[in-house]
Amino acid sequence: MNTILRSILSVAMLSVIAGAYADSPDNIEKYFLGYLQGETSPYMSGNIVKSRDVKAVSDQVWKSWVDANKAFDEQKLSPLAALSAETASAWNLPADLEPNAVMNYYWGFKGDSISSAGIPLFIYMHGSGPRQQEWETGLKLAVRFDDSPSAYFIPQIPNEGEYYRWWHKSKQYAWEKVLRQSLASGEIDPDRVYMFGISEGAYGSQRLASFYADYIAGAGPMAGGEPLKNAPAENLRNTAFSLLTGDRDFGFYRDKLTRYTKRALDSLKQVYPEDYEYNIQLIPGRGHSIDYTPTTPWLSKHTRNPYPKHVSWENFEMDGRYRDGFYNLYVNERSNADESARTYYEMDIVGNTVN
């Protein structure tokens, strides 16, 4: 399957889509539209795709997926325009996930034009100060960062509260929606999508990086530090990771948690020297305020590998939700009946042998 298809379709869909080519494009689009509307039954077909037809299959399936997204009745991303305050728009998040939740966002690009191959996408999460001020500050920072040409999705957290986070289910809905819509647009390079953020946005981007590691090329939390039980380092085996924290940032043990993350990735790098690309630094003499400008240029150097030969995956729950797939692994049935438990998977491909 082509890179774009691998980057947005679930593993469950990929497991059945190869048989779809001999069927009409209308039937495939209808299936995809049903999937977007919540139907989960697999696509049933006994057709087999020959190796010489793989590209044609891939192109047709992708077109059907794009067409289904266009036909799906939902709030769409606003047209991609030059990033500024004028690019503000909003989504209503599902009431069953969070009542009265409106996610305002800036959606725009930096640079002279959008190439036919697409441009990188940076998803930025702001800190926990007054949300209007934090959101506007995110736009100011994004315009200044040295990463053009690029696109930015800069959301405002919908509500506020003592235990209100970027990784809750309602925001998971938003992340998956922006990935799906932006990649279907053809304007975003599917192998150069990055999540990053500051302070509360750092906690969010570190958790999300581990949960969605197979979707993104890299993540860059700043002035943060999550407990590793919330963001397993193993999952970053094929995802670039940057974590910059002041060495005097003692609040919520951010300095210590940053050290723990570095120690974990150092250990993994020793076992798997060809994998795990990361840049973790404790900035000397700095507290919660650091220089944010190095992160996106570092992330920009890294692209996603949609076909990794080696995968490590701890399937952890995030706000009560598990992933049902990771890269080309699909979970038919979780082995852990306890909702707080986890299952760890490793996959190695050597030639045509998959272990």
Q: What is the pLDDT of residues 156-213, one digit of tens each?
A: 999 998 889 999 999 999 999 999 999 999 999 999 999 999 999 999 999 999 999 9
Indicate the residue type of 223.
A
This prediction's pTM: 0.92
106 and 186, same domain (yes or no): yes
Residue closest to 240 by CA, chosen among 198, 189, 277, 197? 277
Q: Which residues are within 8 A (CB) of 126 and not within 5 positions of it... i.e. 6 or more apart? A: 134, 135, 137, 138, 154, 156, 157, 197, 198, 200, 201
Same domain, 219 and 121: yes
Residue 76 is assigned to a structural domain of this protein: no
| Distances from the Cα of 48 to the Cα of 28, 65, 328, angstroms | 15, 20, 19
41 assigned to some structural domain: yes
Does residue 275 share a domain with residue 154?
yes
What backbone torsions phi and psi does residue 7 show, to the nearest 5 degrees?
Answer: -80, -15
Q: How distant is the alpha carbon of residue 236 from its chain centre?
A: 12
Q: What does the alpha-carbon distance between residue 101 and residue 60 come to, in Å, rounded to a whole number?
A: 36
pLDDT tens over the chain, length 355 residues: 334 443 445 544 554 455 555 567 888 899 999 999 998 777 777 777 888 888 888 888 899 999 999 999 999 999 999 999 999 999 999 999 999 999 999 999 999 988 888 999 999 999 998 999 999 999 999 999 999 999 999 999 999 988 899 999 999 999 999 999 999 999 999 999 999 999 999 999 999 999 999 999 999 999 999 999 999 999 999 999 999 999 999 999 999 999 999 999 999 999 999 999 999 999 999 999 999 999 999 999 999 999 999 999 999 999 999 998 999 898 888 777 676 778 999 999 999 899 9
Could you tell me which residues are beta bridge partners of residue 350? 353
Domain shared by 55 and 95, yes or no: no
Residue 149, domain member (yes or no)? yes
H helices present in the chain, as ranges: 3-8, 11-17, 25-36, 54-71, 131-144, 169-184, 200-211, 254-271, 295-300
Dihedrals φ, ψ of 143, to 5°? -65, -30
State the residue range of the domain holding 115.
81-307
Residue 112 lies in a domain: yes
